[in-house]
Amino acid sequence: MLLTGPGWLTAVNVPVMDELVHLAVADGIATITLDSPNNRNALSAQLRRELRDHLNAAIADDAVRVIVLAHTGTVFCAGMDLKESRSADAEKQGVNEFPAILEQIWTSPKPVVAKLAGPARAGGVGIVAACDIAVAADTATFAFSEVRIGVVPAVISVTVLPRLNSRQAHELFLTGETFDARRAAEIGC
């Protein structure tokens, strides 16, 4: 199958080397892989743009029946790229862009499955919560780590709060405590 679009050569199904998010389609499954392990798959502007573009492509592809969000490296997603956003204005920090990505996942007409084998933090938890199904290895952990730097998890609350027991959500939103996959399943995440 030939894929065209951002990050793909038009003649062969080979990802461009500087791409941070890859799309592969086989047997009705679109696998979108976050591939910025040196940056803990943080949501940089480039990663957000490529994720959005690949989600659009997978949703538009009639051959795709399900979308799987996966990752390389030991971390699923560390949340927003704080190094990049330090010197950026609100627009470049993804304040408007990231909620649109969460909505794109949440409202996808095709099921979206998060497949994670490592930590999800902050915006990464928002991505997992936006998915229809999350499959997590025992090594996966979760945390609303943004509260530790004084940031309220407001943006991701749109996808997280409908999934979590409200008492647990309050506790975790206030403490930033790390929790494992077993507890995530117990509290509805």
d(CA 45, CA 92): 7
Give pLDDT tens digits along the chain (189 positions): 334 444 444 444 555 569 999 999 999 999 999 999 999 999 999 999 999 999 999 999 999 999 999 999 999 999 999 888 666 565 555 667 899 999 999 999 999 999 999 999 999 999 999 999 999 999 999 999 998 888 888 889 999 999 998 899 999 999 999 999 999 999 987
Per-residue confidence (pLDDT) for residue 165, from 0 to 100: 87
d(CA 69, CA 137): 14
Quick check: helix, strand or coil at residue 148?
Answer: helix
Tokens for 68, please give them.
Answer: 């799987």
Does the structural domain 21-187 have CATH classification 3.40.140.10?
A: no
Per-residue confidence (pLDDT) for residue 92, from 0 to 100: 58
User: What ranges do the domains of the chain cover?
Assistant: 21-187
pTM for the structure as a whole = 0.87
